[in-house]
Structure 1
Amino acid sequence: MNPATLKAPPKLPGGIPFAGHIAAFGQNPHAFMMRLRQALGDVAEFRLFHQPMVLLTGAEASEAFYRAPDEVLDQGPAYRLMTPIFGKGVVFDAPPEKRNEQLLMLMPALRDKPMRSYAGIIVEELESLLGSWGEAGELDLLAFTKALTMYTSSHCLLGPEFRFELSAEFAEIYRDLEQSLQPIAYVFPHLPLPAFRRRDRARHRLHGLVAQIMDRRARTQRPGTDMFQALMDARYADGSRLSAHEITGLLTAAIFAGHHTSAGTAAWVLIELLRHPEELERVLDEIDRLFGAEGPVTFEALRQVPRLENVIKEVLRLHPPLILLIRKVMRDFEVKDYRIAAGKFVCAAPSVTHRIPELFPDPERFDPDRYTPERAEDKNPFGWQAFGGGRHKCSGNAFALFQLKAIFCVLLRRYRFELVNPPESYRDDYRKMVVEPASPCLVRYRRREWRKTSAPLRQAVATALAGGQSVQVVVDRDLCKGHAACMAEAPEIFRVDQEGHLELLDAHPSGELLEKVRAAERYCPNRAISLKPRQEP
């Protein structure tokens, strides 16, 4: 585009002297940004105190935002409020090149291999919490999901020391760090406020705990396999190690990135399913077919719940936990037919872009079928942007989806739920930096009676056995992934070799062997085994 034809972004008139549009923005930032886009379009300027802000919405403007290099749009100046929490020289306080090195050091704990071990941890933590529920009751859903995601995140990512030895102390430290995230911290993060003083004491205490664990792991020479250990083993490009100060900041950043975002999303998944019982039944059918009543929740099986995954995606579209992503313009920035001058701040707004009808028809409707292969409304990565986009897309997105799927594949098998209050009363709380359902967020639960989704087939098997007819074992080779759970239950019937190939040794078991096959059918994580009446030649 000819630079001479570029325009300045249209500005929202009005505002309060010295404060700008902070009052309307602070009351409900999502509603404010929706009105701003409606009035001025995809590129629109407003003012928070003395600072000009330019809102970028829609796929084209969002793509320019997410694709811009760090030397043009920089995260660091936009998130100075996190420096007292993460530490000097860590993440947003580090130069872009060093920041990118640090963030890459988190990746080994978020890749495929370590994530395979996380399913068991998540299930263990969830079952432990459910152990105190009893047959029925009422609870604050958000308080529950916050506790659950704190336990699972600290256990998976920080390691057993934080989860089991320092659980109460770490929860207190985290609370003090978290409560310092107040709107005023964007502008004045070092005021002598009580919340900021508690934050600084908590950060100092956490640094001491991290240093102690580093020293103990080094002395005992018993390294872990968690993110903590990955950071201890990491090296900068120049060969230097991370300090205890830097590891403290990066571990804190990892928990901050995943705890509240996952807790709020988990709460909204259940709320939206209860608001839409037809979708709940479809999810239950999928989970029951895959896992049965007690089938193990494995990493491999969690890849095969497309209906649940689509529900989670639709929840993230309607309730993205981060509704505003901010960068400072370091050099004049061009987007569409506008030039945004250096020194201003630009922001992407997932919650606004997610409600553009051209990207998501009937955008206020909860519709998980948007993500089926036929419709694929998430195919534009700058339209559906719940995890951001481009070079700074959230690196924990795979872990977040994995964790949410694991939680609901256990929770929905164990209990039935209902909303305590009218469905429309459950709303997002936009007063928080990370948006989540407003509290209290009450639900009732009762233990679920197991329902057999394959009732006609099971009835046919029972009828065949009662009539003296034999049954046959059927293996769906497309579903079988070689987990060998069947061989553990019925080695006389199933054999799995080192390559994961299943051999069926007896297709027509009876008596005790038939009961073993039924156990194999029940525990197969992929539901690849079934029993049918024997077909006579």
Structure 2
Amino acid sequence: MATAHAYTDAGNPHWTPVQDEGALMAIPGEEGIPFFGVTLRQLKDPYKFGFEMYKKHGPIYRINSFGRTQVGMLGAEANELVLFDRAKIFSSEQGWGPVLNLLFPRGLMLMDFDHHRADRKALSIAFKPGPMRHYAEKLNEGIMERVNKWSGQDLRFYPEIKKLTLDLAATSFLGIPWGPEADKINKAFVDMVQASIGVVRRPLPFTKMGRGVAGRDYLVDYFAPEVQKRREQQGPDMFSQFCRATHDNGELLSTDEVVDHMNFLMMAAHDTITSSATSLLLLLAQHPDWQERLREECMSVGVPGQPLSHDDLAKLELTEYAFKEALRLIPPVPSTPRRALKDFEFAGQHVPAGTPVGISAGFTHLMEEYWPDPYKFDPMRFTPDKVRERHKFAWVPFGGGAHMCLGLHFAYMQIKILMHHILTQNRIVVEDGYDPKWQAWPIPQPKDGLKVRFEKL
């Protein structure tokens, strides 16, 4: 699949072409400037662009973006239609494929319907209570060591947490120690993620895509010979769990399947956690009252400098509310692409089969009809009574429906352990009025790396 045209419609003849160009062009929208369309406006400020389109066209509009005509759909109703997908209208494979097929072919997010359900069920073995307890142990070890080095320091948090998250993936996901081998694996993942938004889509020398495809080749060469070894060793790490995963008929996943799933889930886990941990830390530094409330909660549940028990994670309710609010304000995956396999209707518009469509968690998370005073940091929006009052698809940082993030409980666990060790030993401080600008693509991150001070308590 990793060929020069793997991301194109021509390279995937099973993808659904637009069935009715006239119907597609009848949807109100904008063509933008020649060649680029509205791509540059989207990249510059996707949320501002979304609000402009919503004000001008309502919850559905047509645009020429990233080299193709697409339809944007905004709001909780759009999220529910696309993510819950009762009628099996929307293809995730054909939505994400043009972006990720060269790098993460056959990853779980790039699968549809029965194939997706079967592989998701097989992989769920890695997220059962036993393995999760093992991951918690490894996360505690790695995070405690790193927080000790951060204490009392001025640092740029984003690159620090990115390196830590990659290192933690090596220990809990792969079961290998930190060191040169883990560093090579980490570099390959970084190159692959950067390639996902490379302007040049072919793997030419000296391009992001060229480096990304080379990174994938390195990881395939690393993972494939390991599969049989891991099946025999019965290790507790996630890679070993995948190697032993079976389909309903009892057959093991093939080596290629294990490698592709491992590649994708490593990417999906480390970059999203890096982004969301950074946004939460910044928000707590900007709101010291909430930082103190979380510190008190963490102190009441665990001992500073000691591992946080897996059994105590559920007690960190305020910490979970704060994490959810950070995910609302700065979702790590702000938009989700799909392709329509059938004609459908939305908000009074007819959309033909074959149309690339996209929904936006980032936009929905800031809509006043669901979130009063939407730019305010208020973790109490996520108390059970408030959640019951809202549309179920008004908050979708982990997706929804059949494609709900498989690792969401791992994400909660990692963030809670991280916040426990940081907050029980340090006060997080930023300069008065500090509000860094964020890069929106491919995953949100502060452009200056997030300048913070860890004041040891």
- Return the TM-score normalized by structure 1: 0.75
Contact 2:31 2:63 in 1 (8 A): no
Corresponding residue number in structure 2 for 1:302 = 313
Give the C-alpha shift of residue 49 in structure 1. 5.0
Which of residues 327, 332, 335 is equivalent to 2:338?
327
Unmatched tracts of structure 1, length 5 or more = 1-5, 449-537
Aligned mates of 1:128, 1:280 — CA distance in 2: 22
**What's the counterpart of residue 18 of structure 1?**
35
Q: Deviations over 1:278-323 (max 9, x none)?
A: 1111111211222244554111111011111111111000000111
**1:147 aligned partner:** 163
AA in 2 matched with 1:137: Q
- Return the letter of the residue paired with 2:129: D
TM-score (structure 2 length as normaliser):
0.87
Alignment of 1:201-212 (within 5 A): 201-212=214-225
What letter is aligned with 2:167?
Answer: Y
Distance 1:141 1:293 in 2: 21
RMSD after superposition: 2.5
> Relative to 1, partners in 2 of residues 1:75 and 1:246: Cα closer, same or farther, differing over 3 Å?
same
Does 1:173 pair with 2:191?
no
Contact 1:90 1:99 in 2 (8 A): no
How do 1:47-446 and structure 2 match up within 5 A? 47-68=64-85, 71-80=88-97, 81-87=99-105, 89-91=106-108, 96-133=113-150, 136-158=152-174, 160-161=175-176, 163=178, 166-184=181-199, 188-191=201-204, 194-217=207-230, 221-237=232-248, 240-294=251-305, 296-376=307-387, 379-420=390-431, 422-424=433-435, 426-430=436-440, 432-446=441-455
Give the stretch that moved more between structures: 104-113 or 327-336.
104-113
Unaligned runs of 5+ in 2: 1-22
Pick the structure with greater CA Rg.
Answer: 1
Distance (Å, rounded) in 2 between the aligned partners of 1:83 and 1:377: 38
CA distance in 2, matches of 1:13, 1:200: 34
Instruction: Name the CA distance, whole Å, in 2 between partners of 1:148 and 1:155.
Output: 11
User: What is aligned with 1:32?
Assistant: 49
Q: Retained in 1: the 8 A contact 2:147–2:421?
A: no
Which residue identity is paired with 2:438? D
- Aligned partners of 2:84 and 2:402 also within 8 Å: yes
| 1:16 positional shift | 1.2
In 2, Cα distance between the equivalents of 1:378 and 1:295? 38
Alpha-carbon separation, structure 2, partners of 1:337 and 1:244: 47
- 1:322 maps to a residue whose letter is V
Q: Distance in 2 between matches of 1:94 and 1:387?
A: 16
1:394 is paired with a residue whose SS is: coil
Which whole-Å CA distance do the structure 1 matches of 2:87 and 2:251 have between them? 24
Instruction: Give deviations 1:357-382, integer Å, cap 9, x for gaps.
Output: 11111111111111123433775320
Percent identity reads 24
Structure 1 Cα separation of the partners of residues 456 and 142 of structure 2: 18
From the superposition, tell whether residues 217 and 66 of structure 1 become closer, same or farther in structure 2 (CA, over 3 Å): closer
Residue 460 of structure 1 is matched in structure 2 by none
Distance 1:28 1:234, change over 3 A: same
Q: CA deviation at 1:116?
A: 2.1
- Flag the structure with more relative contact order, 1 or 2, with Cα contacts below 8 A and sequence separation at least 6: 2
- Are 1:419 and 1:443, in contact at CA under 8 Å, matched by a contact in 2? yes
State the alpha-carbon separation in 2 of the partners of residues 54 and 93 from structure 1. Answer: 20
Note if contact 1:332-1:341 (Cα within 8 Å) is conserved in structure 2.
yes
Check 1:437–1:381 CA distance in 2 against 1; reply closer, same or farther (3 A cut): farther
The 3-state SS of whatever aligns with 2:154 is strand
The alpha-carbon distance between structure 1 residues 377 and 35, as it changes in their structure 2 partners (threshold 3 A), is farther
The 1-side partners of 2:180 and 2:118 are apart by: 30
Report the Cα distance in structure 2 between the residues aligned to 1:434 and 1:316, rounded to whole angstroms: 12
Aligned counterparts of 2:180 and 2:392: Cα–Cα separation in 1: 41
Task: Specify the SS of the correspondent of 1:334.
Answer: strand
Whole-Å separation in 1 of the counterparts to 2:389 and 2:125? 27
Tell me by how many angstroms 1:28 deviates: 1.6
Aligned residue type for 2:169 = S
Superposed displacement of residue 263, structure 1 = 0.7
SS of equivalent residue, structure 1 residue 184: coil
Partner Cα distance (1:171, 1:254) in 2: 13
Aligned pair in 2 of structure 1 residues 302, 385: CA closer, same or farther (>3 Å)?
Answer: same
Alpha-carbon distance change, 382 to 92 in structure 1, aligned in 2, over 3 angstroms: closer
Is 1:42–1:57's contact at 8 Å kept on the other side of the alignment? yes
Kept in 1: contact 2:24–2:352 (CA 8 A): no
For residue 211 of structure 1, what is the amino acid of its counterpart? A
Structure 1 residues 49 and 256: CA distance shift in structure 2, 3 A: closer
